[in-house]
Structure 1
Amino acid sequence: MPRASRSIFVNGNPELVFKITNDIPRWTELYTNMSATRVVSLERDGRFAKIVFELTNKEGHVWTAWRILDFKERIAMSRREAPSYPYNFHHLTWRYELAEGGKGTQLTWTDDFEMHPDSPIKNEVSLEPMLEHMGESQANFKKVTEEFINNNQIKTIFDVE
């Protein structure tokens, strides 16, 4: 089973970076390959939230996924559901830690996945493209999240009026 993991520094406090980067409607700005998002459901009970959502990439592929957020530990766990193809499974964990020196956020993404046997992309060659895509995505997340923070665009779907 391939495992891809990358980290990046984001100039912002971990709580705020966590909320902004898990705000699914912002993903069309945070991801360069995402054209549409739709939150199907959002349930929040204190420390935890569960989001079920639909994503559409620029090629028009649509899938649903769920995401469990732990606001205390600042961990997001997610799984691609339907359709799962080209994966047999794809589980993601994002961790948000106070960066060394006490300022900023160390954001680490870990993807555990297995390619579907019918996929033209095989497990043996899937890791390098996954790591490349992860690095490109994280660079855009950093840029856009820091812009949101600097422009005080910090209200998210988790903020109750």
Structure 2
Amino acid sequence: MAELTLDALRKLMREGGGVEDGVDLDGEILHSSFADLGYDSLAVLEIGALIEREYGTEVPDSAIGEITTPHEMIEFVRRGTVTAGHTDNSIVIDAPMELVWEMTNDVESWPELFSEYASAEILERQDETVRFRLTMHPDDEGKVWSWVSERTPDPRTRTVNAKRVETGPFEHMIIFWEYLQEQEGVRMRWVQDFHMKPSAPVDDAGMTDHLNRNTLVQMERIKGIVEAAAAK
């Protein structure tokens, strides 16, 4: 059975619900909500029916309410389940786009940007993709967490797709970064989709709560550092 790709899903979206004026389905829509793209629940149901017909994967009505983005639809077809853990956080940084982009994508400087990282070691670069090892400061019990990740920034769309290669307590961890120019500054957005292993010390709900709290702390820290650099 063929894999459902984003381009294939775009085709089914056009077939199942059309395209509203002002919506660019050929743009960066992977983590945009179906609602923002002009597709209500009935349209998503129709798209699910088309997926079942063409890919043989049933998208039950009970799952439609939990599948809110093209990314989640693709993951559902690939895994047969809705991604259990999901966070979506953003902050506006009052600094030029180029400075925000360069500082936050300089992985080697992350120990200065993020309070939680003790080191960031670059392991490999291939075209735009960088593979690196992050090591955290010891936690309250003295344990040091470390893992390998990959990230691929796209300066043209001002987006980054990243994932954990060494997943540790996660079954999977996929991260999407987006930078949007707004009147007040640059909105930096992080979307995290994940699922915890049964052996993990926390479940999906617990990790969601942790990530939502910690993400806001790290974003506020990064905002302060970048805005201070812009003021120099």
Same fold at TM > 0.5: yes
Aligned to 1:69, which of 128, 150, 153? 153
**Deviation at residue 138 of structure 1 after TM alignment:** 0.5
Match status 1:105 vs 2:186: yes
Aligned to 2:215, which of 128, 131, 134? 134
**Structure 2 letter corresponding to 1:115:** M
The superposition leaves residues 42-100 of structure 1 with CA deviations (integer Å, 9 ceiling, x where unpaired) of 234xxxx1111111100232211100110100101110111x1211111100100101x
Count of paired positions: 144
Percent identical:
22
The superposition leaves residues 8-28 of structure 1 with CA deviations (integer Å, 9 ceiling, x where unpaired) of 010112232112101011100
RMSD: 1.3
Q: What residue is the counterpart of 1:52 in the other structure?
A: 131
Aligned to 2:165, which of 66, 75, 81? 81
Match status 1:43 vs 2:126: yes
Q: What residue is the counterpart of 1:7 in the other structure?
A: 90
- Contiguous gaps of at least 5 residues in structure 1: 152-161
Relative contact order, CA 8 A, sep 6+: which one is greater? 1
- Contiguous gaps of at least 5 residues in structure 2: 1-83, 139-143
Match status 1:28 vs 2:111: yes
**Structure 2 letter corresponding to 1:12:** A
Q: Give the structure with the higher percent strand.
A: 1
**Deviation at residue 149 of structure 1 after TM alignment:** 2.7
2:195 counterpart SS class: strand
2:180 counterpart SS class: strand
**Deviation at residue 147 of structure 1 after TM alignment:** 2.2
Alpha-carbon distance between aligned partners in 2 of 1:124 and 1:37, rounded to the nearest angstrom: 28
Alpha-carbon distance between aligned partners in 2 of 1:116 and 1:67, rounded to the nearest angstrom: 22
2:194 counterpart SS class: strand
Larger radius of gyration: 2
Alpha-carbon distance between aligned partners in 2 of 1:134 and 1:50, rounded to the nearest angstrom: 23
Whether contact under 8 Å (2:147, 2:168) holds in the other structure is no
